[in-house]
Structure 1
């Protein structure tokens, strides 16, 4: 029987780990972004965005630590022009306008990719569906995905499930994911704990990285 990494320390070997940053974009995260603006106007389940700046800044700090430890940082960016979407996706949309190609809404929120990072555009909720992400991660020998970003119960959830089906170990950082749907957020975290992998804090992630890269222990 082959040796399968089962502990967090074994799974979070930096050279085989990717910190995946999902959809940290203005239309999802910012004041005046598509979700905040349209939900506020409709009065239907208004989206709170006040916590997104803290999440983004925390992810930015983790990305720097991951790079220093020798891990990969991978960014997912939604581009939702109707010309890219399947009919079923269009049918669920009330109007075109979210994460349109080349707009401020599609730009990253507060944090940005750096040279050497992985970047993949996607046109649906999963970061692996008809994107370059899997090929780029496989080329780097990645075996573990550490999920951050938004929304916990939609694109983070879809990406981690797809990644699990492709054979990746799954870790979710509970203080680095967010959603305007608290019930959905907690549901995804609960499901991951039972069926897909581990849910830990960013501090725990840094602690394990520090075991492999001692210089990070002082962070």
Structure 2
């Protein structure tokens, strides 16, 4: 039967496992690991990505335990894959190193990994929805609420949240489940999401919704 409109539901009910998915964005070595692109080429601090792992692993485990789909979004920014405008901007800045090119160490997962049964969506721009099958994957699972986790808050997370919002999804960002190499921009994105594009929550709220006691209370919406 149709699920109840999110306009009449509390945050906990909107997070019901029957209507939710966890979208994990860009947890890859080039974005997160020492020696990766963000660290070695951009010269940015990647420590926030490693600090994210305990929260992220807990969210993933609870999602799997509650039957919440975990959908993985990864970047392939090899020079032959990205739009010419992105490549031109990098070259004008004097950056010739590829980021997360397919088959490289930089493209490998950092600290987390999908199960063989979990969908993996590969993107070539900052939004997980642009020219990918992410929307089709989510619609096929009748998902209405998206919980976002991963990096970088102000770039790929925000771009995907914006596009998810435009497609009618209920977008929720747990502030302690996303991270950035630039804390000021991380904070700005959270303010922007809270203002226009969804809800800013915390991982404790998500975990509470994805426990057996919470999920059994919301099966009426399935």
Q: TM-score, normalised by structure 2?
A: 0.89
SS of the residue corresponding to residue 53 of structure 1 reads: helix
Counterpart in 2 of 1:201?
202
| Deviant stretches of 4+, over 2 Å | none
SS of the residue corresponding to residue 175 of structure 2 reads: strand
Counterpart in 1 of 2:220?
none
Report how many residues are paired.
207
The answer to whether the aligner puts 1:59 opposite 2:56 as a matched pair is yes
Contact 1:26 1:109 in 2 (8 A): yes
Counterpart in 2 of 1:14?
17
Contact 1:57 1:110 in 2 (8 A): no
Contact 2:78 2:100 in 1 (8 A): yes
**CA drift at 1:4:** 2.0
Post-superposition Cα deviations, 1:72-123, rounded to whole Å, max 9, x if no partner, equal: 1011010011111112111221223211110000000011001331210000
Please give the root-mean-square deviation of Cα atoms over the aligned residues, in Å. Answer: 1.5
Counterpart in 1 of 2:66?
69
Counterpart in 2 of 1:156?
157
**Structure 2 unpaired stretches of 5+:** 218-222
2-structure distance, mates of 1:100, 1:134: 23
2-structure distance, mates of 1:79, 1:142: 25
The answer to whether the aligner puts 1:186 opposite 2:196 as a matched pair is no
Contact 2:49 2:180 in 1 (8 A): no
Q: TM-score, normalised by structure 1?
A: 0.90
Post-superposition Cα deviations, 1:7-35, rounded to whole Å, max 9, x if no partner, equal: 21221121211111000000000011111
1-structure distance, mates of 2:155, 2:206: 23
